[in-house]
Amino acid sequence: MIGLVAEIIVDVAAYPVDRPFDYAVPLPMVPLIENGSRVKVPFGPRNVLGFVVNLKNHTEVPADKIKPISQLLDIEPVLTPEMLELAKWLKNETICYEIDALQVMLPSALRAKYEKIITLQNSIEQLPQPLQPFFIRSNKINYKEFEKSGLLHELKLALNEKLVIIEYVVKQKGKVKEVRKVQVTDDLEKINKIANELSNRAKKQKQLIEWMKEHPGEIMDPETLYSETNTSQQVLQALIDQGAAKFIQEEIFRDPFSKEVEKTSFLNLTEEQAIALHKISNSIEQQQSETFLLHGITGSGKTEVYLQAIAQCLKKGKEAIVLVPEISLTPQMTERFRSRFGELVAVMHSGLSVGEKYDEWRKVHQGKVKVVVGARSAIFAPFENVGIIILDEEHESTYKQEDTPRYHARDVAIWRGNYHNCPIVLGSATPSLESFARAKKNVYSLLTLQKRALKQSLPTVQIVDMRDELKKGNRSMFSQQLVQSIETRLEKNEQIVLFLNRRGYSSFVLCRDCGTVLQCQNCDISLTYHRSTEKCKCHYCGYEERVPQTCPQCQSEHIRFFGTGTQKVEEELAKLFPEARVLRMDVDTTKTKGSHEQILTSFGNGEADILLGTQMIAKGLDYPNITLVGVLSADTSLHLPDFRAAEKTFQLLTQVSGRAGRHEKPGEVVIQTYTPEHYAIELSKAQHYEPFYEREMLMRHQAGYPPYYYLALIQISHTDVMQAAEYAHKAVEWLRAKLSFNVSIIGPTASGISRLQNRYRYQCLIKYKIEPDLIPTLMQLIKLYRSDWIKKGILLTVDLEPTMI
């Protein structure tokens, strides 16, 4: 007879079948095992990690075939029942392995090496008798001690009653932050003895030992010691050799919040804010899952609405999840939450070390915090009583994960909102077309903030036609208008932000006389310039042509590929304004941890006049002294080979412009462009979203793109270009045979980045409206790939609703 059986999702990559496997639960494990616990199980010749997703009393597997679980890793589950359900949904929604969906919800620390420590929470007397002896000498005991003792069941009961808790201490050799310090011996006699024996010629040593006499036992930073005593490392080393002091390593405790935050109180809401909050409150009160789109111009006070809605949830004993794009997760941003909710806030972002991230996750898991502010993956915060979920800057493409599981945080938010019967608030000054279209159809409830909260006027925006500059003989990347505006600010000691629009990897070919950009004949998408072959290619359909010598529109010879780096701009700035202090922020200057914040802080402190940067500076900058924003090239993102190019350009220009004049001093924005007549640029001038929305929807309708159609992107790669092409064709033929005629299948074509890490990449794009067979068909394709193509070295990925094509 078989006792308890566990259904287990195993961690075996690239196995053709994705389903739970049955394993027998050994008798001693029966009272300990739960859904959501991790286990080790035998799978083929190996022992692999698995997750318990169901427990039952029977199995189809014959008794002599079923294998027992070899090890139970958690006696307290790491995943909640909600997460197990969510994983099943993600698996279908994003077409991934269930194991990938389960793993993505856990902090990576749980995949690293760690120790489990049991910590006593209350007094020892409250513990069951058999457990008491463990805690007599310390309130922290290694889990291994219990494993040996056979008292795991008692321990589990104590855990359930929260008499003790489990902590996972990540073993990260060298990753624990330590600093080297000097410790003077506390043995004064010894110091005196050394002092007496020192030769008179060792003047510096004498100096230092005299100081040590005054400071026995003191621990300090060596550099401070040298400067305070006017000595050096050699002098100290000589005394260390005689035993007067020693070097020690001191651990710096992980604290993502380096400084204390002052408490702030609630602001009196403006009328618009009050109306928005009222509607969200209703949904909280009535425990209704409702998705709101909070459309508010930059500076309209969306954050204040979030804060007050969260406060209301906390009052009802519920929790809140706030998502913010990674680059907006600045200390300035998180402080606004900490200043209201203090220690109840956990912050999760990729700048934290594995251990720090894990610390924050654990605070959530143990219910020590009630609010999570974090980037995309914080949507999986393991709260069990969620009262509100907020996505700030909901239009940002970083909410979509580019690796498996390819989920969109917005979709997960809505799923969790349904699960917890709570409101979801999507906030933006420039909502994604998809979201605004849903709001128009009343799928989402639209809330609007049209005025700035502090009644500041929006900055004045000037659009400079760079074609005219060239005609006037100005070949520089700075227009006369921009040069003048910069000079004025430098004189007044006001600050300037210069934005270089660089998105993606590719460049396009532009005529500097008439602004024409080479377009694909078939796709209405800009052609991408390939330096190596001197050719322009369309990576949607494969069309290619040589770079023409003259412009096809105006026959000018000033036609060339376009794209400038920040470094080049910096050099030019130095020539034009030698007296200006410039800070540059791009991928090169922000490689090390914390450098992003450092640059922002130093700019905020007025240590520079000009901040020059890429998209990184478009967000979160809120300094009163910024009165000029210059956009060097609005066109760059406009001509990307992406059907969302216009939308992204409009969003960027609105974001960037929103950085100027947020406080008392009025702001000015100068936008340089070769295509001032393009609607995305023209309409960004007045920052009117709706006219842009209407215009762009028209384009999408004509071209058959989202939100009118859905997209699925299939990518196939191989180290051999012929193989990659062959299997891409196979996939397309296979799909053509299975899918209905209403579906258009474009491709195969070489991908935008046609070779990556020595793999040649091909893709095909599926456009569809309603196609019930699509997901099952794609799953079949994946099965074919996993059971056969994968052995030939092919890699195939499916991305539903891709953000980058």
Count H helices, E strands: the chain? Answer: 24, 33
296 belongs to the binding site for ligand ADP (CB under 6 A): yes
Site string for Zn ion, 277-296 (x = CB under 5 A): --------------------
764 belongs to the binding site for Zn ion (CB under 5 A): no
Q: Which strands, in side-by-side order, build the sheet including 544-546?
A: 528-530, 535-537, 544-546
CB-nearer residue toward ligand ADP: 303 or 435: 303
304 belongs to the binding site for ligand ADP (CB under 6 A): yes
267 belongs to the binding site for ligand ADP (CB under 6 A): yes
Q: Is 554 annotated as a binding residue?
A: yes
756 belongs to the binding site for ligand ADP (CB under 6 A): no
Q: Is 764 annotated as a binding residue?
A: no
- Work out whether the CA dihedral 395, 398, 403, 408 comes out positive or negative: negative
Output the smallest distance, CB 581 to Zn ion, in A.
39
CB-nearer residue toward ligand ADP: 420 or 619: 619
Q: Which strands, in side-by-side order, build the sheet including 744-756?
A: 744-756, 759-768, 710-718, 795-800
687 belongs to the binding site for ligand ADP (CB under 6 A): no
Residue 285's Cβ-side half-sphere holds a number of Cα atoms within 13 Å equal to 6
329 belongs to the binding site for ligand ADP (CB under 6 A): no
Output the smallest distance, CB 279 to ligand ADP, in A.
17
Residue (of 115, 56, 110, 106) closest to 79 by Cα position:
106
Interaction partner, residue 453 (ligand ADP, Zn ion, none; CB < 5-8 Å by kind): ligand ADP
CB-nearer residue toward ligand ADP: 265 or 532: 265
Residue with the closest Cβ to ligand ADP? Answer: 301
Tokens 């128009």, residue located: 440
Site string for ligand ADP, 271-290 (x = CB under 6 A): --x-----------------
Q: Is 661 left (phi over 0), alpha (psi -120 to 50) or beta?
A: left
Output the smallest distance, CB 467 to Zn ion, in A.
9
Q: Is 536 annotated as a binding residue?
A: no
Token pair listed for 365: 């898991």
Site string for ligand ADP, 20-49 (x = CB under 6 A): ------------------------------
425 belongs to the binding site for ligand ADP (CB under 6 A): no
Residue (of 125, 248, 120, 122) closest to 185 by Cα position:
248
Tokens 């910096």, residue located: 570
- Work out whether the CA dihedral 584, 588, 590, 592 comes out positive or negative: negative
Residue 66 near residue 26, CB atoms below 8 Å: no
CB-nearer residue toward ligand ADP: 121 or 339: 339
Return d(Cα 252, Cα 181) in angstroms, integer. Answer: 11
CB-nearer residue toward ligand ADP: 302 or 363: 302
CB-nearer residue toward ligand ADP: 395 or 786: 395
Q: Is 262 exposed, middle or buried (0-12, 13-18, 19+ CB in 10 A)?
A: exposed
Residue 397 near residue 804, CB atoms below 8 Å: yes
Part of the chain binding ligand ADP (CB under 6 A), chosen from 262-270, 510-518, 722-730, 763-771:
262-270
Rounded to 5 degrees, φ, ψ at 772 are -60, -25
Strands 626-631 and 610-613: unpaired
CB-nearer residue toward ligand ADP: 301 or 431: 301
Residues 495-514 that bind Zn ion (CB under 5 A): 511, 513-514
Return d(Cα 356, Cα 360) in angstroms, integer. Answer: 6
- Binding site listing for Zn(2+): 511, 514, 520, 523, 538, 541, 551, 554
- Binding site listing: 511, 514, 520, 523, 538, 541, 551, 554
Residues contributing to the site for Zn ion (CB under 5 A): 511, 513-514, 516, 520, 522-523, 538, 540-541, 543, 551, 553-554, 556
Residues contributing to the site for ligand ADP (CB under 6 A): 267-270, 273, 296, 298-304, 453-454
